[in-house]
Amino acid sequence: MKFKIAKNRFIDGLKAVQNIVAGKGSLPIMQNVMLAAQGRELCLTTTDLDISISSKVECETAESGASTLPVKLLFNMIAKVPEGDVVVEIDAKEKATIRAGSVSYKIPGLPESGFPKFAKADDNAQFTISAAVLKEMFRKTAYAASQDDTRRTLKGVFISFKDGRITMVATDGRRLATVESELEFPKESEMDVVVPSKAVQELIRSLPAEGEVKVKADNSKMCFSFEHTNIYTKLIDDKYPDYKQVIPADMKEKIAIDRQGLLDALDRASIMTLDEAHSTKLIFSNGKLTVCSAATDKGEAKDEVVIKYAGEKIEILFNPTYIMDCLKAIDDNEVTMEIKDSQKPAIIRCSIPFLYVLMPLRTN
């Protein structure tokens, strides 16, 4: 196998796939990228058995073939060679020689026959969606997914394709984020899936700012195809809980708040929160929102945000990080916070079909 490729194209291809490899302690080949050169195309593929990603870049192939090389080492080497063309030659014993200008490297590879084959998704459901819309919907929900390995079902983003719209939901049991967007797709393509958080984070990183994404899915796998990249992922097969049950109704107060002003106040006050009791008190009173935190061994912090509110005084204790995560994902200058009392969940909304439910902390 032998091919020539521009350094910048090689780097782009490796950047696209290098995050998806198995952890330390796995088989050595699981740390490798599979390189397949044919004609004017080099296909790079990595997998951790749950996710597989492949990317195609232009090259000049002198001898077609396929092999696998350590992806992190290969990326570091190519990043350091001089600008220009890189020549990669891999012999019958899987030893690779890499030349660029005056630089040459020799590294051992492993045969591509031992590289795991990732099953492709069937065409049970397929449709096209804007890459920008898909990326933004993931960005507005993924942070709320659970990080707890014992709550496997919640370690992902629930996606529903029904009634001419796509709905995404993520929750860890203490907060819930959901967003909707209109989407045209065939009736027979309606389905509900749960995409693992690792795959979602890779999509947020990889999806382009414009263009379209082709989506294929069946009951166990999903494929996202865009530009020269394909991301395949297994789905979480457990049934997602009925998230609509935790969305409160009949909220007493709806308060307009400057998003950046609240974010800044929370950021300042959170410096004083204790690691073991990460909490900040929000005090809603006539014309102002007071944000305060205190820690016995540090001191206390207080800031105020002007709001349009003339109701009775309400004090609620929240995890400040949970509010800031939501506010960072919103682009509007103003958000609406809906509250009832100090013991009931709060809701944050913005100008698009987005909703964030936040559970209050209990006071001792």
Q: Are residues 135 and 234 in the same domain?
A: yes
Question: Residue 62 pLDDT more than 90?
Answer: yes
Q: Are residues 149 and 217 in the same domain?
A: yes
Q: Assess if residue 120 is contained within a domain.
A: no
Tally the domains of the chain: 3
Q: Are residues 129 and 236 in the same domain?
A: yes
The C-alpha atoms of residue 216 and residue 194 are separated, in whole angstroms, by 14
pLDDT of residue 17: 97
Cα dist from 7 to 14, 29, 329, whole Å:
11, 24, 35
Each residue of 257-277: pLDDT tens digit?
Answer: 999 999 999 999 888 876 556
Each residue of 188-233: pLDDT tens digit?
Answer: 888 999 999 999 999 999 999 999 999 998 889 999 999 999 999 9
Percentage of the chain with pLDDT > 90?
Answer: 80
Each residue of 100-133: pLDDT tens digit?
Answer: 999 999 999 999 999 998 877 676 778 899 999 9
Q: Are residues 252 and 281 in the same domain?
A: yes
Q: Are residues 91 and 176 in the same domain?
A: no
244, 263, 296: which is the final residue of a domain?
Answer: 244
Kindly report the three-state secondary structure assignment for every residue of the chain: CEEEEEHHHHHHHHHHHCCCCCCCCCCHHHHEEEEEEECCEEEEEEECCCEEEEEEEECEEEECEEEEEEHHHHHHHHHHCCCCEEEEEECCCCEEEEEECCEEEEEECECHHHCCCCCCCCCCEEEEEEHHHHHHHHHCCHHHCCCCCCCHHHCEEEEEEECCEEEEEEECCCEEEEEEEECCCCHHHCEEEEEEHHHHHHHHHHCCCCCEEEEEECCCEEEEEECCEEEEEECCCCCCCCHHHHCCCCCCEEEEEEHHHHHHHHHHHHHHCECCECCEEEEEECCEEEEEEEECCCEEEEEEEEECCCCCCEEEEECHHHHHHHHHHCCCCEEEEEECCCCCCEEEECCCCEEEEECCCCCC
Q: Are residues 93 and 149 in the same domain?
A: no
Each residue of 4-37: pLDDT tens digit?
Answer: 999 999 999 999 999 999 877 688 999 999 999 9
Q: Assess if residue 363 is contained within a domain.
A: no
pLDDT of residue 274: 60
CATH number at residue 176: 3.10.150.10
pLDDT of residue 298: 76
Q: Are residues 20 and 97 in the same domain?
A: yes
Q: Are residues 285 and 252 in the same domain?
A: yes
Q: Are residues 64 and 159 in the same domain?
A: no
226, 244, 262: which is the final residue of a domain?
Answer: 244
Q: Which residue has the higher pLDDT, 188 or 175?
A: 175
Q: Are residues 99 and 166 in the same domain?
A: no
Q: Assess if residue 131 is contained within a domain.
A: yes
User: pLDDT confidence of 364, banded at 50, 70, 90?
Assistant: low
pLDDT of residue 23: 78
What would the mean pLDDT of 248-257 be, rounded to a whole number? 91
Burial label for 344, CB within 10 Å (0-12, 13-18, 19+), is middle
Each residue of 305-317: pLDDT tens digit?
Answer: 999 898 899 999 9
Which of 41, 34, 2 is closest to 18 using CA atoms?
34
114, 140, 173: which is the final residue of a domain?
Answer: 114
In terms of residue numbers, what domain contains 80? Answer: 2-114
Q: Assess if residue 51 is contained within a domain.
A: yes
